[in-house]
Amino acid sequence: KGQTLTHVFKEMGLPLKSMRQLMVVPGARKDMSRIGPGKELAFELNAKGELKTLRFDRDEGTRIELMLENGKASEKIIQREVAQEVAIASGIIEKSFSYDAKRAGLTTSSINKLADVFKYDIDFVADLNDGDTFHVVYEDQWREGQRMRNGAVLAARIVTRGKTYTAYRFTKNGQAEYFDQNGQPLKKVLMRIPIEYGRLSSSFGMRNHPVLGRMRMHKGVDYAARTGTPIMAAGDGRVSYVGWKNGYGRTVVLDHGQGRSTLYGHMSAFGKYKMGARVNQGVTIGYVGASGLATGPHLHYEFHVNKVQVNPLKVTMPKPQPLAGAQLAAFKAAIAPSIAKMDSMERGLQLAKR
C-alpha cells in the first residue's frame, strides 16, 4: 500500500526509461495504472540485466505481457480460462463447524457465505453442536489446473438438534436469492442476529447484572465482539432514535412498522444514518463498543413487539412471500440435482456412523 510502479522499478534496479517505453504501447498505460496492492509482477531480464518482459494479470482471466526489444515495446494479451465446477462437501461436526467444514474442503470464504445464508435461523457459534451434520453443494473456480477459490453456495443442508435447515440458490426476477426446499425465502423481514462476527455472551431473561451486581431482567441478548465490529440493521425501517440512552450508552432504535422495532446498544460509534432516515436491511448502523453500563465491548440487541421486549432468539420472525406458480415449478426443477447430491452424501454419512 502506498507503493508505486516507479518504486518497484527502482527496487529492481531498472531504469525508469524502460517503464516509460512500455507505456507507449496502446492500452499499456491504463493497464499499468491499475496495478495496486497485492498485484504480482514478473520481470524477465536479459543477460545484461535489462528488462525484457513485464508480466502481470489485468484480471483473473487476462494476463498482460509487455515486451522490450531494442528499445521497442510490444504487448501480448493472454486469455486464461476460468472454469466453474460443481463440488460437494459433507461432514459431521466433531470440533467446530469452521474446523470440520475446512477439513471437508470448504474455504473460510465459503464458511462465511454459509453463515450469511443461514443467519436468519442459525447462529453458527451457539447453535451447532457435536454430531450435527452439514452438506454443501458449491461452485469451485479453477484456472489452469489450480484451484482459485470456492464460488457461490448452490445448496446446503444442515441438521442440528434434530431439525433440518435447507438453502437453495435461485434467481428470482434477475436477483439470486436463497430459499428452503418448499420455496420459502430464507431472508426474513427481520434478522435474528444483526452482527456477523460475535459470540452470544448473555441471553434473554433474569440475570445478575455484571455492573450493578444485582438480579435484574435482561430484556435483550448480548453478542461479545471486538470494538469496531459493524452492526447491521435487522430489517428495512426508519431510524426512530440515535443518541445516548442511559445505561445503553450510544444507542440506535429502528422502527420496522407493524408494531416491531429493534434496539442496538453500547455502540462505540454511530453509522451515517440520522433520526428519521430510512435504512435497508444489512446496512451498517453503528459499531460495537462498551459505552454505557458495560464491562467490555459487545452489542446489546433488543426486539420489541408492540413496545414489549421479546426474546429475539425465540420469537417467530415474519416471512416474505414464497415462490408460487411457474416460479415454484422452475425452482423445484432447478434444485433437483442438488437434492440428489445431498441425499447421496447423507446416505454416505449414515453408513460412516454405523
Tens of pLDDT, residues 167-180: 999 998 888 999 99
Q: How far is CA 38 from CA 1, 4, 234, in A?
A: 8, 12, 34
- How far apart (Å, rounded) are the C-alpha atoms in residues 210 and 266? 14
CA 295/CA 290 separation, integer angstroms: 7
Tell me the C-alpha distance between 177 and 112, whole Å.
16
DSSP codes of every residue in 183-208: S-BS--SS-S---SS-EEEE-SEEEE
Q: Give the Å distances, CA to CA, from 43 to 13, 14, 31, 217.
A: 11, 10, 16, 66
- Grid coordinates belonging to 152: 457461490
- pLDDT tens digits, 44-61: 999 888 899 999 988 888
Q: Measured between alpha carbons, how far is 196 from 73 in angstroms, rounded to an integer?
A: 49
The sign of the CA dihedral 100, 104, 110, 115 is: negative
Task: Answer with the residue of higher pLDDT: 296 or 318.
Answer: 296
Q: What is the CA radius of gyration of the chain?
A: 26
- Burial grade of 352 (CB within 10 A; 0-12, 13-18, 19 or more): exposed
Contact 168, 338 (CB under 8 A): yes
At 2 the pLDDT is: 84
Reading the block at residue 328, the C-alpha cell is 415454484
pTM reported for the whole predicted model: 0.60
What pLDDT is recorded for position 81? 84
Composition of the chain by helix, strand, coil, percent to 5: 20, 40, 40
pLDDT digits (tens, 9 = 90+) for 311-334: 887 776 667 789 999 999 999 999
- Range picked from 70-84, 169-183, 190-204, 216-230 for highest mean pLDDT: 169-183
Phi, psi angles (nearest 5°) of residue 267: -65, 150
